[in-house]
Amino acid sequence: MLSLIDIISAWTIPMLLLLIPLVGILKKVSVYESFVEGAKNGFHTAIRIIPYLVAMFIALKVFQESGAMDLLIRLIRPLTTKANIPEEVLPLALIRPLSGSGALAMLSNILETYGPDSLIGRLASTIQGSTETTFYVLTVYFGAIGIHKVRHSLLAGLIADLSGFLAAVYIVYRVFGNF
């Protein structure tokens, strides 16, 4: 059975790359021109969102370098201590809504330090998978279509991130034991 899965995995993408143009040709679609048009649209979208991305990355760096993250961690420490949430995962939980690459770097550091099978490593991995890069998503997608008022979407995204964080803590406690 495992070899069948390996074969399917190895051939799925090549078959899709063959099947999609073939279906286009059968439907008499100009496949190459459609591809080029899509690439042009993607390039123009990338150019439109660059200012939003630059602003977000600068804000993230200012947040980290100014000490605001450390201050925020100190402010929430009494709550997280009572909830028995390890302080080692708090920077990941705070940076994840802002930056996927920053959160991935933090996760990598946590896994190197504590190991992937440690409770902290498992919690950090679960947080990474249970939360979203909310500010990045709003920046890219809303910036691409020109929406500037993101208040309700931002609030909903941050509530979802908090819910994902709390669910991750709960599930890791239930599945892997206490810290």
pLDDT digits (tens, 9 = 90+) for 104-131: 888 999 999 999 999 999 999 999 999 9
pTM attached to this predicted model? 0.68
Per-residue pLDDT at 13: 92
Question: At residue 2, does pLDDT exceed 70?
Answer: no
Q: What is the 3-state secondary structure (H, E, C) of the chain?
A: CHHHHHHHHHHHHHHHHHHHHHHHHHCCCCHHHHHHHHHHHHHHHHHHHHHHHHHHHHHHHHHHHCCHHHHHHHHHHHHHHHCCCCHHHHHHHHHCCCCHHHHHHHHHHHHHHHCCCCHHHHHHHHHHHHCCCHHHHHHHHHHHHCCCCCHHHHHHHHHHHHHHHHHHHHHHHHHHCCC
At 50, the amino acid letter reads I
Residue 24 lies in a domain: no
Question: At residue 179, does pLDDT exceed 60?
Answer: no
Residue 108 lies in a domain: yes
Residue 40 lies in a domain: no
Residue 19 lies in a domain: no
Residue 141 lies in a domain: yes
Residue 133 lies in a domain: yes
Residue 25 lies in a domain: no
pLDDT digits (tens, 9 = 90+) for 138-169: 888 887 788 878 889 999 999 999 999 999 99
Residue 115 lies in a domain: yes
Number of domains in the chain: 1
The parent domain of residue 60 ranges over 49-176
